[in-house]
Amino acid sequence: METFSAKHILVAHEYEAQDLIKKINDGVSFEELAQKFSKCPSSQQGGDLGSFTKGRMVPEFEEAVVALKPGEVSEPVRTAFGYHLILRY
């Protein structure tokens, strides 16, 4: 079964996610932003969720991860938890 590895930043509002995309595009590290702004316990590990297989994450999150190439960061992905920026690695 195919596995995926991802990091994410979870925020409450889309505008927060858009602001973080600008910071990433300006060269701020994804991991640093995750530690500062993510509302997920994974923030302490720079947003690292590790490896997982299909069916382990909510559908919206999983679809975004599958669509990304390694090293790419998603646009904001809305789930019941909030808005995610996802970095596949």
Q: What is the pLDDT along the chain (89 residues), one digit of tens a residue?
A: 899 999 999 999 999 999 999 999 999 999 999 999 999 999 999 999 999 999 999 999 999 999 999 999 999 999 999 999 999 99
- Note the pTM of the prediction, 2 decimals: 0.96
What is the distance between the alpha carbons of residues 63 and 24, in angstroms, rounded to a whole number?
22
Q: How many domains does the chain have?
A: 1
Amino acid identity, residue 43?
S
Counting Cα atoms < 13 Å in the Cβ hemisphere of 9 gives: 28
- Indicate which CATH number applies to the domain containing 46: 3.10.50.40
Range of the domain at 72: 3-88
What is the distance between the alpha carbons of residues 6 and 16, in angstroms, rounded to a whole number?
20
Looking up tokens 């997920």, which residue turns up? 40
